[in-house]
Each structure stands twice: as C-alpha cells, then as structure tokens.
Chain A
Amino acid sequence: MKAKILTFSPAGDTTLLDYDPEIADMEEVNRVIAEYEAKTGAQPFDMATGERIEKVTREQQEVLMVHPIAGG
C-alpha cells in the first residue's frame, strides 16, 4: 500500500512524495513536509477526514498540502 503527499498547483494536483507507510521513515516524511511548508506556507490536511494535521503518521494515506490564501 502506498501513501502520498500532494498539493494543488497550476497544472492540477501534483504529488510531492509517495511512500510505503509501513516501512517509510516518518521522520523523514515529516521533514519533507516541514521544508515544503517553510517554502510555500502550505500545511497538511488529511484527505480522509478533511482535518488539518500537525504531523503525518502511518495512518494517513493521502495528505494534501493546502496553500495559504490571501484576501483581496
């Protein structure tokens, strides 16, 4: 079974990372997410529940990085 971290982008959804949650180093997965958030401001949401999450665990199969929104 594979899990993936994705985001919305100008060309539609883009997969940032896919991994096997049973054997993946979750510290490394979360480090990648933290780096992406630092660069883009995007934060992780669990696509199974629609909830924002602080850390990705092995239970999450699909995580969406949601980008910041500006008012206008």
Chain B
Amino acid sequence: MERAILIAIALFGLVVWRVVLMLLEQWPSPPATPPPRRRKDTLAMQRPPHWLLPCVELTTGIGWGPGSSRIDLVQADSRADMYLRRVIALTGATQNGKSYFLDVGTTRFQVWDRFMMRLRDSADPKGRYYEETCFGPAFQGMPKAERIATVLLQMRNNPELFEKWAKKETAFKADGQPFRRGAVMV
C-alpha cells in the first residue's frame, strides 16, 4: 500500500514537472536579435551622409585588394576651421574661448558665431561704450566657423556694417549696399 502511494506521488510529481516545463516553453522570451531601434544620438545621424560632403578624394589602386578604391572624406567642418584659421591670420583677430576679438582702427569687436559686440568706439572718449547685434547669412546656412570667418572679413574691410546689421532692416553686401532677398536664386 505504501509503495502504491509513493508511486502515485512520483507520477503526480512528474505530471506537475511536465506541466511546468510546458508553461515555461510557451512563456514569451526576448528574441535572439532585438528589433532595430531608432537612436537619435548615433554618430551616423549626427553627420550628413558622405555623399553630401564636399571634397571627396577618390584614390584608385590603393586599398585592401586589387582594383579596390579608397575614399578619403574631408569633413566640411574641418575645412571650415581651416578657412577660419586663415582668416584669423589675415585679419589679425585673436581667439578668446568661443569668441574672437578683432581690432579695426580704434574699434574692437568681439564675434561669436551668431552674435557680436562692438566693445569700444572712437566716438566714445571713455572707451566703455558697447553695442551688440545678432547676425546671420542672408540666404543660406554655413558652418559656424565660416560664419565667423565671413564676419571677420567683412568687419575688417567695412566696420560700418555693424551699424547696418544692428538696425536689423535688411541684409547687406560686403560693400555696404543693401541686398534684397527677393533677388536671390538658390
């Protein structure tokens, strides 16, 4: 009798174990390869596609195998920085953190990439006078370094442009002539 009870308990245990295994097999589990997720902070999304970058240098015959090609991509930003360094040398500007000081005659300008200040003016005998204005390219964007380079070049050649920009009326060419956006063909 005792043996029959033990066998019955053992069979019951086996049945319970089998049911538990079946339940575990049907339980939803994560797939072997997770579904693709959009990451907004990936490097690929921060950079423009390589075919949009300028100055693609294609060198054939050098690479991993016969006939392979090596594409050297020069980043637009690094080229913009190169031009900014050249303009800094040409204009005598000096870097101060993220801004640049430019002296034109007795006037000193401090230039950021979208904002600038005229720190002193020859009309101000105490030299404490300053004004500020925002600025931007008239009709198209450009890298930050090139915006700064553009303003440094224009200020050095025609510092009166600052007055015109500060009035926020319209865009001006480098020679100070107004430029109407309607005349632009992009």
Chain A partners chain B: yes
> Which of A's residues lie within 8 Å of B, judged by CB?
8-14, 37-43, 45, 47, 49-52, 64, 66-72
User: Which of chain B's residues have a CB closer than 8 A to the CB of A66?
Assistant: 150, 153-154, 174
Name the distance in Å between A51's Cβ and chain B's nearest Cβ: 7
Name B residues whose Cβ lies closer than 8 Å to a Cβ of A.
Answer: 48, 52-55, 75-77, 79-80, 83, 86-87, 90-91, 114, 133-143, 146, 149-151, 153-154, 156-158, 161, 164-175, 179, 183-185
Contact B179 A68 (CB under 8 A): yes
A43 touches B175 (CB 8 A): yes
The distance from the CB of B128 to the nearest CB of chain A, in whole angstroms, is: 23
Chain A residue nearest to B158 in the complex (CB): A52
Bound together, the chains give a CA A67 to CA B138 distance in angstroms of 7
| B-side contacts of A42, CB under 8 Å | 173
Q: With A11-B76, A50-B91, A69-B137 as known contacts, state yes or no: A45 contacts B174, CB within 8 Å.
A: yes
Contacts of A13 in B (CB 8 A): 54, 76, 79-80, 83, 146
Other-chain residue from B80, B153, B169, B184 in contact with A41 (beta carbon distance below 8 A)? B184
Asked if A41 and B179 sit within 8 Å, CB to CB, the answer is yes
B87 touching A50, Cβ below 8 Å: yes
- Does B90 contact A71, Cβ atoms closer than 8 Å? no
A-B contact count (CB 8 A): 129
Q: Nearest Cβ distance between residue A6 and chain B, in whole angstroms?
A: 9
The residue in chain A whose Cβ has the minimal distance to the Cβ of B165 is A71
A67 x B153 contact (CB < 8 A): no
Given contacts A50-B90, A69-B172, contact A45 B153 (CB under 8 A): yes
Pull 18 A–B residue pairs with CB atoms less than 8 Å apart, ordered by A.
A12-B142, A12-B143, A13-B146, A39-B185, A41-B139, A41-B171, A41-B183, A43-B174, A52-B174, A52-B175, A67-B140, A69-B137, A69-B138, A69-B151, A69-B154, A69-B171, A70-B135, A72-B136
Task: Give chain A nearest CB distance to B34 CB in angstroms.
Answer: 35
Evaluate whether A11 and B53 lie within 8 angstroms (CB atoms) in the complex, with A39-B184, A45-B174, A71-B168 already known: yes
Q: A13-B54, A14-B54, A39-B185 are in contact. List 16 more A-B contacts (CB 8 A).
A: A12-B55, A12-B143, A13-B146, A41-B179, A41-B184, A43-B175, A45-B157, A50-B157, A68-B173, A69-B154, A70-B165, A70-B168, A71-B133, A71-B164, A72-B135, A72-B168
